[in-house]
Amino acid sequence: MKVPDSYRCWAEIDLAALRHNARIARERVGVGVALLAVVKANAYGHGLAEVADALRDEAQLFGVANLLEATAARQAVPHPIIILGPALPAERAEILAREFIPSISSYAEAREFSLLALNSSIAINCAVDTGMGRMGLAEPEAMTEIARIATLPNLTIHSVSTHLPVADEDPAYTRGQLERFSSLMTRVRGEAPGSYLAHALPSAGVAGFPNSAYEIVRAGLMLYGAAPDPTFQRLLHPVMTLKTRVAFLRHLPAGSSVSYGRTFTAPHALRAATLSAGYADGLPRSISNREAAVLIRGRRCPVLGRVTMDLTVVDVSSVPNVTVGDEAVLIGRQGEEEILATEVATRASTIAWEVFTGIGNRVPRVYG
């Protein structure tokens, strides 16, 4: 992708890789399962409108966190949009008017939507809490509550869902969740008949439990080419390459300190490059002094001292002919080397989701 030489830090978004990952999700769960593409948090930092538009032929539904995101997604695609987070009371009328699908956590909440609908109708997603603990119908009362909700006027149950908190960490617990949810769905479909769809699997679930796909799977992180499981990672294509430029070069004598706190002191003379990116651009400050690196001319260059808001210093002693203006890759591939978002997350003691969503608004996204 060609970008202006004036760009100091930018993210290149490979839309072909995005579509490839969507097809991997579909293939994993088999024919007949709809793909709900999760585009919340600005499509995990990749650009909500551009990602949604690129997936219009791959996804059957889109998932967002709130009304604001749903409105942005609607401007990009005509597909059904499920609001995965709880709606505030002040948002309900607009959710109804725009025909978004809210996720509800109680009979009382569903009743409020029913009352608002009057002579119209609203479709809802009944979220069931099987272990996540942050929203949803309480599991022991879920059957009773869904049966009551199904009798409300002006309202239809589009889907029943649950969420998996440890699909990538605790297979035994996740299997138990899925078994309980399966039992609940059997009861729901028997005792409160309706054309309900069901969905339980996020990306980690698609990777580890594809036989529990139901009618919909919610692909999020995997769409953007990141997976917690190295085996599954090989099937995906990273979508984003985060780049910056060398802004300054200098020779540091032995004993020179670098950055705030003087947490790094050069043990010997070295050549240092100052990069035009810092934690305001998405390079986490928490990678400081954690053996993190960037790629310049296809080689790994260690980060020196603390990452600052706008600038980062790296050691380029082993890279010949580095010049001001050279591209440096913070996330992505350059030559034969690659730095995955999951590697950055490990260095930062966090997760790839936070790395992606932490890329600041001042970083232009370039699509190709």
For residue range 250-285, list pLDDT tens digits in order.
Answer: 999 999 999 999 999 999 999 999 999 999 999 999
Provide the pLDDT for residue 164. Answer: 97
Provide the pLDDT for residue 282. Answer: 97
pLDDT in tens, 27-56: 999 999 999 999 999 999 999 999 999 999
β-bridge pairing 293-296 and 155-161: unpaired
- Are 74 and 81 a contacting pair, CB within 8 Å? yes
Alpha-carbon torsion, ordered 53, 59, 61, 67, to 10 deg: -30
Q: Other C-beta atoms within 10 Å of 180: how many?
A: 16
Q: Which residues lie across from 265 on neighbouring strands?
A: 257
Q: How confident is the model at residue 108 (pLDDT cuts 50, 70, 90)?
A: very high
Every domain of the chain and the residues it spans: 15-225, 240-339
pLDDT in tens, 138-185: 999 999 999 999 999 999 999 999 999 999 999 999 999 999 999 999
User: What does the alpha-carbon distance between residue 242 and residue 11 come to, in Å, rounded to a whole number?
Assistant: 4
Provide the pLDDT for residue 321. Answer: 95
Mean pLDDT of the 294-301 span:
98
User: What does the alpha-carbon distance between residue 218 and residue 356 come to, in Å, rounded to a whole number?
Assistant: 18
Three-state DSSP state, 122:
strand
Contacts within 8 Å (CB) and 24+ apart, 83-89: 84/38, 84/40, 84/218, 85/135, 86/135
Provide the pLDDT for residue 92. Answer: 98
Provide the pLDDT for residue 230. Answer: 81
User: What does the alpha-carbon distance between residue 101 and residue 253 come to, in Å, rounded to a whole number?
Assistant: 62
List of residues 6+ apart from 53 with CB closer than 8 A: 76, 77
Provide the pLDDT for residue 178. Answer: 98
Provide the pLDDT for residue 119. Answer: 85
% of the chain residues with pLDDT over 90: 96
DSSP per residue, 129-186: ESS--SSSEEGGGHHHHHHHHHT-TTEEEEEEE---TTTTT-HHHHHHHHHHHHHHHH
Q: Which residues lie across from 197 on neighbouring strands?
A: 159
Mean pLDDT of the 177-200 span:
95
- Are 207 and 236 a contacting pair, CB within 8 Å? no
Q: Which helix (H) or strand (E) holds 43?
A: helix 40-44
Residue 328: which of 347, 306, 365, 303 has the closest Cα? 303
Residue 340: which of 266, 240, 257, 258 has the closest Cα? 240
Provide the pLDDT for residue 229. Answer: 81
| Residue in 2, 7, 40, 214 annotated catalytic | 40
Predicted TM-score (pTM) of the model is 0.95
Q: Any alpha helices (H) in 47-106, and if so which ranges?
A: 48-54, 67-76, 92-97
Q: With 90 as the cut, is the pLDDT of residue 228 above it?
A: no
| Residue in 214, 260, 279, 367 annotated catalytic | 260
Mean pLDDT of the 184-196 span:
93
Q: How confident is the model at residue 345 (pLDDT cuts 50, 70, 90)?
A: very high
Q: Other C-beta atoms within 10 Å of 162: how many?
A: 25
Per DSSP, the chain holds a count of helices (H) and strands (E) of: 12, 20
Mean pLDDT of the 8-25 span:
98
User: What does the alpha-carbon distance between residue 175 and residue 342 come to, in Å, rounded to a whole number?
Assistant: 25
**Burial state string for 82-97 with b = 16 or more CB within 10 A and e = fewer than 16:** bbbbbbeeebbeebbe
Provide the pLDDT for residue 65. Answer: 98
Is 260 annotated as catalytic? yes
| CATH classification (class only), 240-339 | mainly beta
pLDDT in tens, 117-132: 988 999 999 999 999 9
Is 243 annotated as catalytic? no
Q: Does domain 15-225 match CATH 1.10.357.10?
A: no
Say if residue 360 is exposed, middle or buried (CB neighbours under 10 Å; 0-12, 13-18, 19+): middle
Q: With 80 as the cut, is the pLDDT of residue 3 above it?
A: yes
